[in-house]
Amino acid sequence: MAAAHTSAAATLGATVTGLPVWGWYGRTLGHPVHHPMHGVCWLRLLSASSGDEGGKPWEGNEVAAREFADLFERDTAGRVALLVACADLLQSASRGDHPELVPALRSLVDWCDPA
């Protein structure tokens, strides 16, 4: 799966910039990446048996992007909303809840920098 992730990043022209984060029962593998056109992104691979594609694991990111599009805008309100969410998650990680998310959250905080 790690080799497939490296190959996917190269195919997309992205550079892996952070530590790997394994998902639910090892079915997913994600890394923060940097893409020359899109900047900081998250690249996640999902492993599934042939014929099991589809549903929430496949469509979740698209649905979230559509439903919460205003949250991810880079205007002031969108940055504030994203920073508040990151602050909550970072505080939770400081208590031991999913500390593996800290590098990705820091990348999101950096992305919110308007400079």
Answer yes or no: is 89 within a domain: yes
Question: CA–CA separation, 62 vs 49, rounded Å?
Answer: 21
Residues 32-47: pLDDT tens digits?
888 898 888 888 888 7
Nearest to 24 by CA among 49, 72, 57: 57
- Give the DSSP H or E segment for 93: helix 76-94
* Number of separate domains in the chain: 2
Query: Is 63 domain-assigned?
Result: no
Token reading at 15: 């550079």
8 located within any domain:
yes
pTM of the shown model: 0.48
Read off φ and ψ for residue 18, nearest 5 degrees: -145, -175
Residue 81: closest CA among 68, 93, 94: 68
Domain range for 73 is 68-115
**pLDDT tens track for 11-25:** 999 999 888 888 766
